[in-house]
């Protein structure tokens, strides 16, 4: 039944390949995306005054007689068509339109209906480029209320509106998947009816997130999300797990040698993780902690428990550089335990790699640190007990499952460095256990954060020069222009050249297109003090630990997500020196942009920053959904529908308890819901039947 909705956009009449491509930018590749493209405004064309009564600035639909055509005398001037009714004269004004087209459309002497915004030019009423022109008989069709959709350049509004109408006609009535009592209590309409209504708003009040129809659709989407996560989770629970409990023989010497005492939050997280691992089921736990909150040592101690219990452990990082950094940190922290640690990344090839794989399979490696390369099929552990994923939102649920499939009953600990708000945690991980590191290790100095207009670049460079003279090391982050890496790179190279001219030769550059080995070399030079300034194009690569770096400059800070800026800033303030972060912005800033930068200036509490960002910008924007790996929502607005998200979570939990394989009638209907929202991957985890 849903098949036509998953046809390519170009299958819709009126959307040729070119327009379909444009529409795809807005709604995605399938017809179903058109259904989810909700109107952002309404135009009421029912207002049908006489010419003399049509107020300026308002949309009106007028019935008029065409009196004459006045082609432009000079090029660049408009073509005017003069119309009248018994009360006055109205000019229809066209720029760059062929006259013969207009004489056919608006023959002299004919009565026509025109609709558009009326304006007065030297007291003369006119409509430039009417939205609609039709014969007098079409009056009824034109005097309607019309939804206005968010557009993209080149896609005519009328085309998009018609395409959405066609998609609606393809949407079938579907068996109800929501609980009837819940629907009744909320007074929500059925799915099909809700769709029709949201696409036919009568006035502005019907556009808000609180109408029953919008709530219903938002809840559908949220339920699909939560149910899919719950099913994956249930699948994981059904797999055999095992109890992993160490005897402390490795942890004791490692703890004794730590140069610091663990914070209460770290101890608490470890208690939770150890208790979870000791249970005879699979652990799937999130360790959430702000940048610098000390997740690494927690992960290490958890992995040591697993190794004490006779299994292997793996830690996976999102990038090569981070994997190497982890290897270094873990090797030094774990030295007293005499662990056998190895590294596996995409860069390892040939003999070394073969050897690592053989030792891994033989159980001669206790702890493997690596990148995505760990997912590869040939990588086999003798017995993987715990997998830790330092994910920074870059691995999806599916990959997490892949990794846990590498072991017999592997426990999984996911570490996220970005403090995502609770609501977002729920959408990304569902009802997953969470340990939070809410306090920072002692001894960190606050970072002095300032916002400065970009036109004071000269002064900034001067300030940086003084800091360098005092021995500081400086990160210089260049603007991120997502569309084009080439442009990013050009900007960064240019910046490096300018800084070299002003600050001397010790200015390095690191960017996403560099080869791994080159990146490492530059990074190492910066860490060891061979470079004073590191110009960087990508955020991720800066995710390393250089305690001596105490200054960060971010150009076009207004273009970054707040969470990203917070992450970046977390790279400084790690050493003994007082640190400074300069956020350069290009003015004038809008109200929201100004507030966002202010938050960053005023606090270093990542959770607070994330909550505020969510409030100011809405969920889709917070982390840059695409790169964050968080699900994007089309119908739900997490800032507005947070309460619905919790309800969806509860509902999903109830469903999986009562009807774990979606076999009841409602269960069958819920399967369509999952398909509809393209969460059908979760259906695979149901027991067949």
| Distance separating alpha carbons of residues 380 and 364, to the nearest angstrom | 12
Query: Smaller CB distance to ligand ADP: residue 295 or 671?
Result: 295
Would you report the helix, strand and coil content of the chain in percent, each value rounded to 5? 45, 20, 35
Binding mask 201-240 for ligand ADP (x = CB under 6 A): ----------------------------------------
Among 115, 236, 296, 449, binds ligand ADP (CB under 6 A): 296
Query: Is residue 356 a contact residue for ligand ADP (CB under 6 A)?
Result: no
Query: Is residue 392 a contact residue for ligand ADP (CB under 6 A)?
Result: no
Query: Is residue 573 a contact residue for ligand ADP (CB under 6 A)?
Result: no
Query: Smaller CB distance to ligand ADP: residue 285 or 679?
Result: 285
Query: Smaller CB distance to ligand ADP: residue 228 or 536?
Result: 536
User: Nearest approach, Cβ of 561 to ligand ADP (angstroms)?
Assistant: 18
Query: Is residue 634 a contact residue for ligand ADP (CB under 6 A)?
Result: no
Query: Is residue 45 a contact residue for ligand ADP (CB under 6 A)?
Result: no
Query: Is residue 342 a contact residue for ligand ADP (CB under 6 A)?
Result: no
Cα distances (Å, whole numbers) of residue 375 to 227, 346, 367, 529, 594: 26, 11, 15, 35, 42
Distance of CA 479 to the CA centre of its chain: 18
Q: Which of 324, 318, 326, 322 is nearest to 394 (CA)?
A: 318
Query: Smaller CB distance to ligand ADP: residue 116 or 292?
Result: 292
Query: Is residue 647 a contact residue for ligand ADP (CB under 6 A)?
Result: no
Cα distances (Å, whole numbers) of residue 611 to 429, 596, 608: 17, 11, 5
Q: Which of 618, 602, 553, 620 is nearest to 582 (CA)?
A: 553
Report strand pairing: 79-85 vs 88-94.
antiparallel
Tokens of 406: 């590498």
Tokens of 678: 């393209």
User: Nearest approach, Cβ of 570 to ligand ADP (angstroms)?
Assistant: 7
3-state secondary structure of 352: helix
User: Nearest approach, Cβ of 628 to ligand ADP (angstroms)?
Assistant: 17
Helix (H) or strand (E) holding 653: helix 642-658
Tokens of 114: 């025109």
Residue found under tokens 């350049």: 153
Query: Smaller CB distance to ligand ADP: residue 288 or 496?
Result: 288
How many chain residues interact with ligand ADP (CB under 6 A)?
Answer: 15
Among 178, 197, 263, 538, binds ligand ADP (CB under 6 A): 263
| Distance separating alpha carbons of residues 17 and 325, to the nearest angstrom | 48
Of 538-557, which residues contact ligand ADP (CB under 6 A)? 545
Query: Is residue 291 a contact residue for ligand ADP (CB under 6 A)?
Result: yes
Query: Smaller CB distance to ligand ADP: residue 147 or 370?
Result: 370
Please classify residue 146 by burial: count the beta carbons closer than 10 Å to its beta carbon, then call 0-12 exposed, 13-18 middle and 19+ buried: buried
Q: What is the DSSP string of 579-633?
A: EEEEEEEPSSPPHHHHHHHHHHHH---HHHHHHHHHHHH-HHHHTTHHHHTPPP-
Query: Is residue 260 a contact residue for ligand ADP (CB under 6 A)?
Result: yes
User: Nearest approach, Cβ of 266 to ligand ADP (angstroms)?
Assistant: 6
Check the CA dihedral 492-493-498-499 and report its sign.
Answer: positive
Query: Is residue 369 a contact residue for ligand ADP (CB under 6 A)?
Result: no
| Distance separating alpha carbons of residues 135 and 105, to the nearest angstrom | 9
Query: Is residue 441 a contact residue for ligand ADP (CB under 6 A)?
Result: yes
Q: Give the number of residues written for the chain.
A: 689
| Distance separating alpha carbons of residues 478 and 486, to the nearest angstrom | 13
Q: Which residue is nearest to ligand ADP (CB)?
A: 294
3-state secondary structure of 395: coil
Binding segment (CB under 6 A) for ligand ADP, from list 260-268, 351-359, 391-399, 677-685: 260-268
Among 33, 78, 292, 430, binds ligand ADP (CB under 6 A): 292
Query: Is residue 593 a contact residue for ligand ADP (CB under 6 A)?
Result: no
| Distance separating alpha carbons of residues 518 and 278, to the nearest angstrom | 43
Binding segment (CB under 6 A) for ligand ADP, from list 30-38, 159-167, 286-294, 656-664: 286-294
Binding segment (CB under 6 A) for ligand ADP, from list 14-22, 26-34, 285-293, 606-614: 285-293
Binding segment (CB under 6 A) for ligand ADP, from list 106-114, 289-297, 447-455, 627-635: 289-297
Residue found under tokens 């076009």: 556
| Residue 424 DSSP label | H
Among 293, 356, 404, 449, binds ligand ADP (CB under 6 A): 293
User: Nearest approach, Cβ of 262 to ligand ADP (angstroms)?
Assistant: 5
Of 404-423, which residues contact ligand ADP (CB under 6 A)? 417
Query: Is residue 361 a contact residue for ligand ADP (CB under 6 A)?
Result: no
| Distance separating alpha carbons of residues 332 and 193, to the nearest angstrom | 63
Query: Smaller CB distance to ligand ADP: residue 39 or 419?
Result: 419
User: Nearest approach, Cβ of 331 to ligand ADP (angstroms)?
Assistant: 13
Q: Give the binding site for ligand ADP (CB under 6 A).
A: 260, 262-263, 266, 289, 291-297, 417, 441, 545
């Amino acid at each position: 039944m849903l098949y036509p909705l998953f046809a390519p956009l170009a299958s819709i009449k009126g959307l040729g390949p070119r327009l379909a491509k444009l529409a795809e930018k807005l709604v995605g590749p399938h017809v179903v995306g058109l259904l989810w493209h909700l109107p952002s405004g309404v135009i009421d064309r029912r207002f049908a005054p006489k010419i003399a009564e049509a107020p300026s600035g308002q949309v009106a639909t007028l019935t008029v007689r065409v009196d004459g055509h006045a082609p432009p005398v000079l090029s660049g001037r408009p073509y005017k068509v003069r119309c009248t009714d018994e009360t006055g004269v109205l000019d229809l004004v066209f720029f760059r339109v062929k006259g013969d087209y207009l004489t056919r459309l608006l023959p002299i002497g004919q009565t026509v209906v025109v609709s558009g915004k009326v304006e007065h030019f030297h007291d003369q009423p006119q409509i430039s480029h009417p939205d609609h022109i039709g014969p007098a008989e079409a009056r009824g069709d034109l005097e309607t209320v019309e939804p206005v959709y968010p557009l993209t350049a080149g896609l005519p509004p009328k085309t998009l509106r018609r395409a959405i109408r066609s998609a609606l006609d393809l949407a079938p009535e579907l068996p109800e998947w929501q609980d009837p009592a819940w629907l009744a209590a909320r007074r929500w309409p059925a799915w099909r009816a809700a769709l029709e209504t949201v696409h036919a708003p009568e006035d502005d009040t019907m556009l808000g997130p609180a109408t029953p129809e919008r709530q219903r659709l938002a809840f559908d989407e949220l339920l699909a999300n939560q149910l899919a996560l719950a099913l994956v989770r249930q699948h994981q629970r059904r797999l055999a797990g095992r109890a992993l409990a160490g005897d402390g023989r490795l942890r004791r010497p490692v703890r004794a040698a730590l140069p610091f005492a663990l914070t209460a939050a770290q101890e608490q997280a470890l208690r939770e993780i150890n208790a979870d691992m000791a249970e005879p089921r699979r652990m799937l736990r999130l360790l959430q902690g702000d940048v610098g909150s000390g997740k690494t040592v927690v992960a290490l101690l958890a992995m040591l428990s697993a190794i004490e219990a006779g299994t292997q452990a793996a830690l996976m990082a999102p990038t090569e550089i981070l994997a190497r950094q982890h290897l270094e940190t873990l090797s030094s922290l774990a030295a007293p335990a005499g662990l056998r640690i190895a590294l596996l990344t995409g860069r390892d090839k040939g003999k070394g790699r073969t050897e690592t794989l053989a030792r891994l399979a033989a159980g001669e490696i206790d702890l493997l640190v690596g990148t995505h390369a760990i997912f590869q099929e040939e990588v086999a552990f003798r017995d993987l007990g715990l997998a830790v994923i330092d994910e920074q939102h870059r691995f999806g649920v599916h990959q997490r499952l892949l990794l846990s499939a590498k072991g017999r009953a592997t426990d999984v600990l996911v570490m996220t460095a970005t403090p995502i708000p609770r609501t977002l945690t729920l959408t990304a991980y569902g009802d997953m256990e969470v340990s939070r590191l809410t306090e920072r290790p002692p001894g960190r100095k606050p970072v002095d954060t300032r916002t400065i207009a970009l036109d004071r670049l000269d002064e900034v460079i001067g300030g940086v020069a003084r800091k360098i003279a005092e021995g500081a090391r400086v990160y210089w982050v260049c603007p991120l222009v997502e569309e084009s890496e080439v442009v990013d790179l050009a900007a960064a190279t240019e910046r490096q050249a300018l800084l070299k001219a002003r600050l001397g030769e010790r200015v390095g550059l690191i960017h996403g297109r560099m080869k791994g080995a080159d990146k490492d070399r530059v990074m190492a030079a910066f860490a060891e003090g061979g470079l004073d300034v590191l110009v960087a194009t990508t955020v991720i690569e800066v995710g390393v630990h250089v305690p001596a770096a105490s200054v960060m400059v971010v150009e076009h800070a207004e273009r970054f997500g707040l969470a990203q800026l917070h992450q970046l800033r977390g790279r400084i303030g790690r050493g003994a020196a007082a640190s400074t972060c300069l956020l350069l912005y290009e003015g004038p800033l809008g109200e929201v942009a100004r507030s966002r930068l202010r938050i960053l200036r005023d606090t270093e509490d990542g959770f607070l920053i994330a909550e505020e960002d969510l409030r100011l910008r809405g969920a889709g924007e917070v982390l840059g959904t695409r790169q964050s790996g968080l699900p994007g929502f089309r119908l739900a607005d997490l800032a507005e529908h947070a309460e619905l998200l919790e309800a969806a979570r509860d509902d999903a939990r109830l469903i999986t308890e009562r009807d774990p394989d979606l076999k009841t009638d409602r269960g069958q209907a819920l399967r369509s819901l999952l398909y509809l929202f393209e969460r059908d991957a979760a259906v695979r985890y149901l027991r067949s039947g």
